Structure 1
Amino acid sequence: MTDKELFYDELLEAMHENPLFEGASFVEREIPKNNGIWEGIEIHVPKCTVAPIISPDRMYDLRRPDESIRSLAERLADDIGKEIYRENEIVAKQFSSLMRQEKDFPLGAAVVSYEANKEWLKDLPYERIEDLAIYPKMYVAPDASIRITSSLLSEIHMTKEEVLKEAKKNTAKNMVFKNLEEILFSDVVERDGDPEITSALMPSSTESPMFVLTNKERHDGAAMIACPEVLQTVHELMGDDYYILPSSVHEVLIVPKHIPLLLEDMQKTVRQINEESVEPIDRLSDNVYEFDGRNLKIAGTITEEREKLPGISRESRHIR
């Protein structure tokens, strides 16, 4: 074990032992950077809205001459804890200032893998959808949002049920549903800037059996699958039951069931894309989902009749 590898373990242990991190959860992450992958630790301290990701590998360079690895770990653990509380206090003051403006800041929804994020989800109001979790966020600027934690619910005078309902309702209003080729064409035009040349090179949009479901910003757009009205609208537009392939937390692909594609091949494609093309922090799931006009479920599973999304089926009962 190298000194840096030893420091990683020692820092993690030092934070677990430090009173500043009482009740905290630590999620190990792979963070893609221009010069490779960083091994990071995402820190969630109870009642703190700030959840930084630190890189022990980079922090090792702060080691002083003749300082032991254990001493370095304990010193930095203390510094990290104090910085989290300092930043959280700043954010709390900024949030209170925003609330005093008596403006209505719009809510939105985001969806993530439950298993990969369950530690920090404990501090948020969230709802399970199969192996996923939907949670609310508040837009404090056109390009800036904060997660709504359980402790913030009293600040905005809403219950868990109310904030999730409002977040999903607002999310549905920003629905974007386009053919995959049309999305690809738009991306190429945006990159290259010449629509005439690009149009000549791109195939017709009618040639793709796949569609993209996202939002106008194409950020956290996969949350559309948590909105019953969106799933129903897509079902009506397709005129068929359909599969949902999770491209990332930002968008999903829709494939109508009349298209002759094997479920096994789609599952393999999703796993391959996740491994090769999607940054770990943006991965949603390795599963393929299906929607039959009433229920959303993991494709290929046999389940009893149930309501997977509130508002879709009155007869079925909800099972957690």
Structure 2
Amino acid sequence: MFLEFVNEVKDNIKHFLPGSYRNAEVFVMDYRKLNTTYKGLMVKREDETIAPIINMNQFYKAYQNQPGATMESIYRRIADVIMEASIQVNLKSIMDYDIAKDNLFIRVSSAERNKDMLVNVPHQLKEDLAITYHVDVSMDEKGLGSMLINNDLLKQYGITAEQLHEDAMKSSPHIMAPEVFSLGAMMEEMVEKDLFMMTSEEREMLQESIRKSAQMSSFFVVTNQQRIGGAGALFYPKMMDNLGEVLGHDYFILPSSIHEMLVLPDNGKISADELRMMVTEVNATQVSPAERLTDDVYYFDTKNHTFGKAERV
């Protein structure tokens, strides 16, 4: 059924696009991103060098689950996405390394879950986490557009993977500026944003749950200002050392999701195994597979300036 849906969209989507798409080519492909693979649809006009890749899995899910959804409504929604994303990227900003190097940033993902992709992608391992490198293509109110740097693009740049890493570490804090705050503050912010959508009873219940969470004030969130792919901010230059200086302790690091890391000062009251159980449970019940990092827990030793897996106790 899914492939029939995809092929039907492929055969009909141009009927819902402007005349400028009359001679466009329509492609269907298996598109791989960090942590996920999906069936992609691309509509590319003759004069275009880059075109958006539409996630057909998401549209099929919407078609199945939304009452009243018809194929025509799906065509129109896909056409809207294609036209909104059709603004062309200046290829020079990607292909010319003298320009691209100022727009590099890092992301972190599970090395195990992405092992097939990482064969063709320059990366560095931090235990079982992989740091990859991306070029910022566009950042506006709709979010972040970026391109993952693979081995072919690295070869085109004519630089080493080590140089790429060094340059990405310099530019990342400017492209994706880091943020650190208490988990309690983050929860309160979420409550404030959603207050107008809640009933008075829901507001009281949520705020009471925050007040009762004794541990929450001990956790700190490390992310970026966009709060998209922010787990990589932990690996910015001097970030872990600076955190240790501010906290005054060695600390545990919990891979909350690809968007943030949680930091907990080690006061001797909780073990690595207890935290590992917490991470595993949260991943299984609250974090989508596409946003999951690992089920492990990490540790930063402030005296030796070392990052590694937390010891099992």
Give the structure-2-normalised TM-score: 0.63
Across the aligned residues of Structure 1 and Structure 2, the Cα RMSD in angstroms comes to: 4.4
Question: What is the identity, as a one-letter code, of the residue corresponding to 2:152?
Answer: S
What's the offset of the Cα at 1:175?
1.7
Deviations 1:137-168 (A, max 9, x none): 01011121111112112444532111112222
What's the offset of the Cα at 1:54?
6.3
- Residue equivalent to 1:118: 115
- Residue equivalent to 2:183: 180
Asked if residue 298 in structure 1 is aligned to residue 299 in structure 2, the reply is: no
Please, which moves more after superposition, 171-180 or 235-244? 171-180
Distance of 2:276 and 2:215 partners within structure 1: 24
- Residue equivalent to 1:275: 284
Q: 1:100 to 1:280 in 2, by over 3 A?
A: closer
Q: Is the 8 A contact 2:272 2:312 kept in 1?
A: no
Aligned partner (choices 87, 96, 99) of residue 91 of structure 2: 96
- Residue equivalent to 1:151: 152
Question: What is the identity, as a one-letter code, of the residue corresponding to 1:257?
Answer: D
- Residue equivalent to 2:243: 234
- Residue equivalent to 1:15: none
Q: 1:229 to 1:299 in 2, by over 3 A?
A: same
Question: What is the identity, as a one-letter code, of the residue corresponding to 1:190?
Answer: K
Distance of 1:52 and 1:122 partners within structure 2: 25
Deviations 1:166-190 (A, max 9, x none): 2223334522111111111112222
Q: Is the 8 A contact 1:168 1:227 kept in 2?
A: yes
Q: 1:268 to 1:295 in 2, by over 3 A?
A: same
Deviations 1:229-283 (A, max 9, x none): 1111111111110000110011011000015123222111100111111110110
SS in 2 for 1:165: helix
Distance of 1:148 and 1:259 partners within structure 2: 41
What's the offset of the Cα at 1:228?
4.4
Give runs of aligned pairs for residues 120-135 of structure 1, distance below 5 A.
120-135=117-132
Please, which moves more after superposition, 252-261 or 165-174? 165-174
Asked if residue 191 in structure 1 is aligned to residue 202 in structure 2, the reply is: no
Distance of 1:172 and 1:254 partners within structure 2: 19
SS in 2 for 1:141: strand
Residue segments in structure 2 that go unaligned for 5+ positions in a row? 5-29, 41-50, 64-85, 198-202
Distance of 1:175 and 1:134 partners within structure 2: 16
- Residue equivalent to 2:69: none
Please, which moves more after superposition, 283-292 or 154-163? 154-163
- Residue equivalent to 1:137: 134
SS in 2 for 1:140: strand
Give runs of aligned pairs for residues 199-218 of structure 1, distance below 5 A.
203=211, 208-218=217-227
Distance of 1:200 and 1:284 partners within structure 2: 28
Distance of 1:287 and 1:106 partners within structure 2: 31
Q: Is the 8 A contact 2:89 2:137 kept in 1?
A: no
Deviations 1:4-30 (A, max 9, x none): 79x9xxxxxxxxxxxxxxxx9989x87
Q: 1:99 to 1:220 in 2, by over 3 A?
A: closer
Distance of 1:211 and 1:112 partners within structure 2: 20
Please, which moves more after superposition, 103-112 or 287-296? 103-112
Distance of 2:31 and 2:115 partners within structure 1: 10
Q: Is the 8 A contact 1:175 1:230 kept in 2?
A: no
Q: 1:149 to 1:212 in 2, by over 3 A?
A: same
